[in-house]
Amino acid sequence: MTKDFFLEATEISPVIPAVNSEERLEIALRTESPLIYVLYGDICNITDIVARIKETGKKAIVHVDLVGGLATKEIALDFMDKYVHPDGIISMKSNLISHANELGFLTIQRFYIMDVLTYRNVEKHIRLAGPDVVEFMPAGLTKAMGYLMEDVDKPIVASGLVLDKQDIMEALKIGAVAVSTTNKDLWDC
């Protein structure tokens, strides 16, 4: 999947279902969104989870840091490439994003902005890893996110603590291309 496809998909549906269980996956498969974030699974079932998503014509973007049994090393991405075939990779680890780029995956680097130090290091990590898309958490930090967007030349996804439609609208208003959430009540906003 290309970055252009990702951006076109977020224009169709700017809310990306982020699934953390089989039950949530079943619901997400029935949404309008052409993209699904996979935030659960292990080395025994991740291939089946991704295949189920792809069978419906949707794109599976796997958060590799959350797949049970995978180390946060480049070999984990080689496994994903050879056996799982996701359409994209999410990680908080710069080394994994860099290697995923080498393998041709769409890459989303996730940052949890918890303090000023993290805020100041974002640009350095983006330059180092070169993700296609950057994701900031929590989504409610729209003021900080607005400042970061001025310095980051990448599409931005907001996520984390998305409580209601207003959180989605505020993130989109400041320039996020999409909002990912595990809140199933907001998936078809």
Band of residue 86 on the pLDDT scale cut at 50, 70, 90:
very high
Instruction: Parse the chain into domains and list their residue ranges.
Output: 3-186
pLDDT of residue 140: 67
- For the chain, what percent of residues have pLDDT higher than 90? 70
pLDDT of residue 60: 99
pLDDT higher than 90, residue 120: no
Residues 4-33 as b/e (b if ≥16 CB within 10 A, e otherwise) read eebeebbeebbbbbbbeeeebbeebbebeb
The gap between the terminal CA atoms of the chain, to the nearest Å, is 24
* pLDDT tens per residue across span 9-67: 999 999 999 999 999 999 999 999 999 999 999 999 999 999 999 999 999 999 999 99
Domain 3-186 in CATH 3.40.190.10? The answer is no
Three-class secondary structure of residue 142 per DSSP: helix
Which strand (E) or helix (H) includes residue 136?
Answer: strand 133-137
Cβ atoms within 10 Å, residue 98: 18
Q: What is the pTM (predicted TM-score) of this model? A: 0.88
Asked if 36 and 16 count as a contact pair (C-beta separation under 8 A), the reply is yes
pLDDT higher than 90, residue 160: no
DSSP 58: P
Q: Using alpha carbons, select from 90, 94, 93, 130 the residue that is nearest to residue 6.
A: 90
Q: What is the mean pLDDT of the segment spanning 157-161?
A: 87
